[in-house]
Chains A and B, each alone.
Chain A
Amino acid sequence: MEPLIELSSVVLPLIRDNVDTDAIIPAAYMRSLATDPATGLFGRWRYRADGSDDPDFVLNDPRYRGTRILLSGANFGCGSSRENAVWALERYGIRCVIALGFSDIFHENCFKNGVLPIVAAPRDHERLVQLCTQAQPAVARIDVKGSTIATAGGDTLHFDLDQRKRALLMNGTDEIDVTLASGARIREFRKRHRRDKPWLYANGDRQ
């Protein structure tokens, strides 16, 4: 996972609530492991029926080309647990989503892929929407270590990010390696748990 320390880009405004993961990547773009998930990003909104780009959809607006930061509304990433939604954003180049809130599974999936989900306070969100929906696209700079968003308007907005998650992002940590390093502790737990609740461990022997 590529470490995420700071990020600066124009902010892509997709200001609507409840952007679900079926919208972020429709199931039809998940039919092969070889498909680049970025091609499915917002697949139903981004393309016209003939497959060409829909110029009315914000992602196709040349002013936002190269964006790395997405700004949306409440409850972003609700619905299906498909991690393809985060893969699609990340492969497209988006490493930070700012929203009023996220679904639990999407939020977790972000951290596994080096994408920072920022829950913006309502006042900060309002300010960002105002800045980022002008005719002139707005640039923002995200500082992961300091937990700040610096806007082109001169604001410095703070967001909450817990220590452990910050470290995961900044170090690009593989969590499986971290857990495997606790192998002795896990084995000890399983030994005791198996003694107390053997029926949870018996199935492997009765197939």
Chain B
Amino acid sequence: MLQGLHSADVTRRDAPPRSLLAKIWDDHMIDDLGGGVDLLQVDRHVLQEVSSAAAFQALRQSGRSVAAPGQTYATQDHILSTLPNRTETSFAGGVEFIRFLRRNCNDYGITLFDVDDPRQGIVHVVAAELGIALPGCTFVCGDSHTATLGAFGALSWGIGTSEVGHVLATQTLTQEKPRPLRIHIDGTLARNVTPKDIILRVIREHGITAGVGHAIEYAGSTVTAMTMEGRMTICNMSIEMGARFGFIAPDDTTFDYLHGRPFAPQDRAWDAALASWRALKSDPGAAFVRSLSLDVGTLKPQVSWGTTPADVVDIDASVPDLESVAGGRREAMQKALAYMGLAPGQRLEGLPVDVVFIGSCTNARLSDLRAAAALIGGRKVAPRVRALVVPGSTSVRRAAEREGIDRIFTNAGFEWRAAGCSMCLAINDDAVPPGARAVSTSNRNFEGRQGPGARTHLASPLTAVASALAGSIADPSRLA
């Protein structure tokens, strides 16, 4: 039998065209459980300390074991401190989870990227840089931003803690089949406009429920030309549109990125994998329930004004007028504006900011930090602004230090922190103070997300840097 060739990979001449979603799904389907739910094989399961804890408690109580520790990985990222010389006790509130994950990985033979491991970092960042997420694989994690790894042409999605327990015990998952939705992104980005601006624009246009029940395939010339890191930023925020799954067909950019990564296949295994991966694309004529498109040729930097990730405008625009909003939405908008301390029609550019956060699984990879640092040009963070850079992984942090990027940031007055989820969700002590205004490269601007009373404006790393230097929301292209 030919290695790497399986019936699900081969498009037979008489077979109907299939989407990439259908191909990967069919290749992992163990059983049809009825009601649109299938039992799927899970190829990769990555754990984090917070959402895995109760799953391990239940596993221990039931006396069950971990079905496939060799396909399971773990990292400490959510609740540990990001202080530069942190230890596991630097944030006392996280110790219980950190030690419990360590004990679980030790007892069940799971590879752990522990607090002081050079491979430690945000789960979605390390799973990419270590070559854990592979094209055509099923990949799950107890974290809603797991679609980040869909950038590799993987079927990758976020699950709850009970599901983490199900995967630990069986290496399978019962999952409702999502409907395929395709978003074409075409055009060349202007200077200082980034993949983050693209995905914010997409969510702004289609809303935060457009993806519910769907799996989004991103395609088009802009996506094809994009680096893996940019693709990850796009896929990362699929959940902000409601989609559990978001992915991009793998191509040479994907394969070049993966080649030689520590957990990617090597040598002959690589050749066999590559032959199989090249078939991972939607067939011409494959059916999608919806097809959307966006031309990004004239796209400007995007910034959020409200408390959902669809409350977004061009950076040089104003908060919408209440009159432009339909009745039912108006009350929610008033509530959001009151929370944000804004008035309808108010301009965002020039609005004073207190905190700037460059970090999270959306925008804390090396390319994000490089681009952000390059914009500084010897300027300083404005007085009274607290600006933090929290690298997505320890390896990103070290690579940035080798390039001198850390000094560019610290010389400008930014804090240079250790890797973790940090101020994105404020489950450790990295929080935006009550009532303070933050420009954040993270993914959620919900009420209280970055701390009680925190006022979050989502933006790209470039807009974040420009705002830190200006002391107010600023367009990176108009930096004085």
Binding site for B on A (CB under 8 A): 16-18, 20, 22-23, 26-28, 30-33, 44, 74-75, 78-84, 86, 101-105, 108-109, 112-113, 162-165, 175-176, 179-180, 182, 185-186, 189-190, 193, 195-207
Q: Which 10 A-B pairs give the minimum distances between C-beta atoms?
A: A204-B70, A112-B162, A162-B35, A199-B265, A27-B427, A196-B6, A81-B144, A109-B160, A83-B160, A83-B161
Q: Is the CB of A105 within 8 A of B160?
A: yes
- Beyond A84-B161, A189-B41: 9 further Cβ-contacts under 8 Å? A23-B447, A75-B208, A78-B208, A78-B209, A109-B161, A179-B172, A197-B136, A201-B71, A207-B111
Residues of B close to A204: CB separation below 8 A: 68-71
Q: Is the CB of B449 within 8 A of A164?
A: no
Given contacts A26-B452, A189-B41, A199-B269, contact A108 B308 (CB under 8 A): no
Q: Taking the nearest CB of chain A, how far is it from the CB of B304, in angstroms?
A: 14
Q: Which one, B13-21, B163-171, B184-192, B370-378, is touching chain A?
A: B163-171
Residues of B close to A190: CB separation below 8 A: 41, 171
The chain A residue with its CB closest to the CB of B131 is A203
Q: Taking the nearest CB of chain B, how far is it from the CB of A118, in angstroms?
A: 16
Q: Taking the nearest CB of chain B, how far is it from the CB of A92, in angstroms?
A: 17
Q: Taking the nearest CB of chain A, how far is it from the CB of B109, in angstroms?
A: 8
Given contacts A176-B170, A179-B39, A203-B263, contact A103 B427 (CB under 8 A): no
Q: Mark B20-48, 1 if CB is under 8 A from A, else 0.
A: 00000001101101111101010110000
Residues of B close to A20: CB separation below 8 A: 444, 446
State in angstroms the CA–CA spacing of A187 and B24 once bound together.
Answer: 19
Q: Is the CB of A108 within 8 A of B57?
A: no
Give the residue of A32, A86, A104, A201 whose beta carbon is less than 8 angstroms from that of B242. A104
The chain A residue with its CB closest to the CB of B146 is A81
User: Counting CB contacts under 8 A, is B321 at the interface?
Assistant: no
The chain A residue with its CB closest to the CB of B178 is A104
User: Counting CB contacts under 8 A, is B183 at the interface?
Assistant: no
Give the residue of A74, A81, A189, A196 whose beta carbon is less than 8 angstroms from that of B143. A81
Q: Taking the nearest CB of chain A, how far is it from the CB of B45, in angstroms?
A: 11
User: Counting CB contacts under 8 A, is B79 at the interface?
Assistant: yes
Q: Is the CB of A105 within 8 A of B158?
A: yes
Q: Is the CB of B170 within 8 A of A164?
A: no
Given contacts A32-B93, A164-B33, A182-B39, contact A81 B51 (CB under 8 A): yes
State in angstroms the CA–CA spacing of A195 and B43 once bound together.
Answer: 14
User: Could you write out 25 A-B pairs with CB less than 8 Å apart?
Assistant: A20-B444, A22-B446, A27-B425, A27-B426, A28-B427, A33-B57, A78-B209, A79-B239, A81-B158, A83-B160, A102-B212, A105-B159, A105-B160, A108-B159, A108-B163, A163-B35, A175-B162, A175-B174, A179-B39, A180-B169, A182-B39, A199-B269, A201-B70, A203-B70, A207-B111
Q: Is the CB of A175 within 8 A of B96?
A: no
Most chain A Cβ neighbours within 10 Å, of B28, B36, B212: B212
Q: Taking the nearest CB of chain A, how far is it from the CB of B164, in angstroms?
A: 9
Residues of A close to B1: CB separation below 8 A: 195
State in angstroms the CA–CA spacing of A109 and B3 once bound together.
Answer: 38
Most chain A Cβ neighbours within 10 Å, of B30, B94, B111: B30
Residues of B close to A30: CB separation below 8 A: 50, 427
Q: Is the CB of B4 within 8 A of A108?
A: no
User: Counting CB contacts under 8 A, is B244 at the interface?
Assistant: yes
State in angstroms the CA–CA spacing of A162 and B176 once bound together.
Answer: 12
Give the residue of B3, B94, B137, B169 whose beta carbon is less than 8 angstroms from that of A198. B3
State in angstroms the CA–CA spacing of A205 and B265 once bound together.
Answer: 12
Given contacts A18-B308, A74-B209, A207-B111, contact A33 B452 (CB under 8 A): no
The chain B residue with its CB closest to the CB of A1 is B162
Q: Is the CB of A16 within 8 A of B332?
A: yes
Binding site for A on B (CB under 8 A): 1, 3-6, 27-28, 30-31, 33-37, 39, 41, 43-44, 50-51, 53-54, 57, 62, 64, 68-71, 79, 93-94, 96-97, 100, 111, 132, 134, 136-137, 142-144, 158-163, 165-166, 169-172, 174, 176, 178, 208-209, 212-213, 239, 242-244, 263, 265, 269-270, 272-273, 276, 308, 332, 425-427, 444, 446-449, 452
Given contacts A23-B447, A28-B427, A198-B272, contact A101 B172 (CB under 8 A): no
Give the residue of B53, B71, B243, B425 whose beta carbon is less than 8 angstroms from that of A80. B425
State in angstroms the CA–CA spacing of A179 and B172 once bound together.
Answer: 8
State in angstroms the CA–CA spacing of A123 and B26 once bound together.
Answer: 38
Most chain B Cβ neighbours within 10 Å, of A28, A32, A81, A82: A81
Q: Is the CB of B427 within 8 A of A31?
A: yes
Q: Is the CB of A176 within 8 A of B70?
A: no
Q: Taking the nearest CB of chain A, how far is it from the CB of B72, in angstroms?
A: 9
Q: Is the CB of B448 within 8 A of A182?
A: no
Q: Taking the nearest CB of chain A, how far is it from the CB of B48, in angstroms?
A: 11
Q: Is the CB of A28 within 8 A of B426?
A: yes
Q: Is the CB of A164 within 8 A of B111?
A: no
State in angstroms the CA–CA spacing of A180 and B313 once bound together.
Answer: 49
Residues of B close to A195: CB separation below 8 A: 1
Residues of A close to B242: CB separation below 8 A: 75, 78, 103-104
Residues of B close to A202: CB separation below 8 A: 265, 269
State in angstroms the CA–CA spacing of A200 and B243 once bound together.
Answer: 25
The chain A residue with its CB closest to the CB of B142 is A81
State in angstroms the CA–CA spacing of A22 and B356 once bound together.
Answer: 21
State in angstroms the CA–CA spacing of A2 and B428 once bound together.
Answer: 33
